[in-house]
C-alpha cells in the first residue's frame, strides 16, 4: 500500500515534524493540505505554509496551503471544505500542531495554559470532529482512512506531571483523543493512533528552549518514516501508542544512524513521557 492519490490534512505542516511527514507522503504522490498559521517569514521560526507547499511539490506531491488557526472552529471547517473542493475529500488527518511551555504552575500564565490546551487537546478534538464526515466517506470508498495524533503514551506517573503540569495535561489530552476516538471510530473503519519519539527531535520550536543541544537530537525524518508505516497499514490497526524506534524495528529498520543530527552520535536527549 502507498499513499499515492491519498489526501492528508496535516496541522502544523509548515515546518518540522509536520512538514517531514508531508514530504514523505508527497514522495508517493499524495495530496497535502497544509493547515498552519505561518504566512509570513519569521527569522526565529523558518518556514511558512507557502514555502512548505513548494517543498511538498518538489517532493512529488500536490499541496494546498491554508492559513488556519486550529483553535477557531469556523477556520477549521472552512479548511476542510476547501480540501474537499480541491482534492475530493480527506483520507488522513495528522494532528501535529502543538504548543509547549515547560513551566511549573507558578510560572505558567493562564494565557499560556489556554494556548497549549487550545491547540493541543481542543485542536486535536476539533480537527478530528471536522474531518470525520470526510474520513467516513473515505472508509466507504475503501481508501483506508487514518487519524494520527503526534502525542505520547498515557503514563499516569507523577514525574511526568510535576515539572510542567499544564503541558502534560495538554499533550495527554491529545492522547486521550486517541484512546477514545479509536474505540468510537473503529465501527466506521477509521484508524486512530498516536506516535511519539524516543529521543528529542531537532525542530525549530525545540531550538527555542534554552539549554537544548540539537546535536544530541534526531531529525524529524525518523517520525516521518515511522508515520508512513502507520498510515500505509490497514485501518484495522488502531488504538496504538507507537514509539518511533520500536515501530521502525518492527518493520526491519534497526540502523537509525541516518536520523542523528550529528553523525555518529549515540548519546541522545530522551524525550518526555516514555518510561
Instruction: Convert the pLDDT of each residue in 151-207 to its tens digit.
Output: 999 999 999 999 999 999 999 999 999 999 999 999 999 999 999 999 999 998 777
What region, left, alpha or beta, does residue 110 occupy, with left being phi > 0 and alpha being psi -120 to 50 degrees? alpha
The answer to whether residue 272 is domain-embedded is: no
Greater pLDDT, 206 or 262: 262
Q: Per-residue pLDDT for 211 more than 90?
A: no
Q: Is residue 273 part of a domain?
A: no
The residues near 85 (Cβ < 8 Å, ≥ 6 apart) are none
pLDDT of residue 207: 74
For residues 19 and 250, give the distance between their C-alpha atoms in angstroms, rounded to a whole number.
Answer: 24
Report the share of the chain in percent with pLDDT over 70. Answer: 100
- Residue-level pLDDT at 43: 83
Tell me the CA end-to-end span of the chain in Å, nearest whole number.
33
Instruction: Give dist(CA 113, CA 85) in Å, integer.
Output: 35
Total domains in the chain come to 1
Task: Say if CB 188 and CB 134 are below 8 A apart.
Answer: no
Residue 36 maps to a domain? yes
In the chain, % of residues over pLDDT 90? 93
- Domain containing 180 — which CATH number? 3.40.50.720
Residue 45, pLDDT score: 84
Query: CB under 8 Å to 173, separation ≥6 — which residues?
Result: 117, 120, 121, 122, 124, 125
pLDDT bucket at 208, cuts 50 / 70 / 90: confident
Instruction: Identify the pLDDT of residue 24.
Output: 98
**Is the pLDDT at 209 greater than 90, yes or no?**
no
**Catalytic residue ranges:** 167
pLDDT at 83 over 90: yes
What does 43-58 look like in DSSP terms, one character per residue? Answer: TTS---HHHHHHHHHH
- Does residue 36 register a pLDDT over 80? yes
Mean pLDDT of 96-125: 97
All 3 cell numbers of residue 203?
525542530
Alpha carbons within 13 A on the beta-carbon side of 258? 8
Q: Is residue 265 part of a domain?
A: no
Does 129 map to a domain? yes
Q: In 3-state terms, what secondary structure has residue 161? A: coil
Give me the mean pLDDT over the 42-58 stretch. 94
Domain range holding 87? 7-259
Checking if the pLDDT of 34 tops 90, the result is: yes
Mean pLDDT over each residue of the chain, to the nearest integer: 96
Residue 44 above 90 pLDDT?
no
Model confidence pLDDT, tens digit, residues 148-162: 999 999 999 999 999
Which pLDDT value is given to residue 127?
98
Distance in angstroms (rounded) separating the CA atoms of residues 224 and 274: 19
Distance CA 156, CA 175 (A): 12
Provide the pLDDT for residue 206: 79
Amino acid at each position: 500500500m502507498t499513499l499515492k492519490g491519498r489526501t492528508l490534512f496535516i496541522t502544523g505542516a509548515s515546518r518540522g515534524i509536520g512538514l517531514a511527514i508531508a514530504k514523505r507522503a508527497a514522495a508517493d504522490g499524495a495530496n497535502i493540505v497544509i493547515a498552519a498559521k505561518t504566512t509570513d517569514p519569521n527569522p526565529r521560526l523558518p518556514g511558512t505554509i507557502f514555502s512548505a507547499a513548494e517543498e511538498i511539490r518538489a517532493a512529488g506531491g500536490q499541496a494546498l496551503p491554508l492559513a488556519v488557526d486550529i483553535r477557531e472552529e469556523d477556520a477549521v471547517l472552512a479548511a476542510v471544505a476547501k480540501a474537499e473542493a480541491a482534492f475530493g475529500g480527506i483520507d488522513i488527518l495528522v494532528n501535529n500542531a502543538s504548543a509547549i511551555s515547560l513551566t511549573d504552575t507558578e510560572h505558567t500564565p493562564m494565557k499560556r495554559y489556554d494556548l497549549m490546551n487550545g491547540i493541543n487537546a481542543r485542536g486535536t478534538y476539533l480537527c478530528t470532529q471536522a474531518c470525520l464526515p470526510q474520513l467516513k466517506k473515505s472508509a466507504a470508498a475503501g481508501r483506508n482512512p487514518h487519524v494520527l495524533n503526534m502525542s505520547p503514551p498515557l503514563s499516569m506517573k507523577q514525574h511526568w506531571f510535576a515539572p510542567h503540569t499544564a503541558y502534560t495535561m495538554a499533550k495527554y489530552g491529545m492522547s486521550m483523543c486517541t484512546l477514545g476516538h479509536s474505540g468510537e471510530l473503529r465501527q466506521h473503519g477509521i484508524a486512530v493512533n498516536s506516535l511519539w519519539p524516543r529521543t528529542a527531535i531537532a525542530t525549530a520550536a525545540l531550538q527555542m528552549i534554552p539549554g537544548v543541544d540539537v546535536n544530541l537530537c534526531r531529525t524529524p525524518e525518523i517520525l516521518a518514516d515511522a508515520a508512513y508505516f502507520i498510515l500505509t497499514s490497514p485501518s484495522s490497526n488502531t488504538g496504538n501508542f507507537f514509539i518511533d524506534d520500536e515501530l521502525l524495528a518492527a518493520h526491519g529498520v534497526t540502523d537509525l544512524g541516518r536520523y542523528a543530527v550529528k553523525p555518529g552520535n549515540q548519546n541522545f536527549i530522551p524525550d518526555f513521557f516514555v518510561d
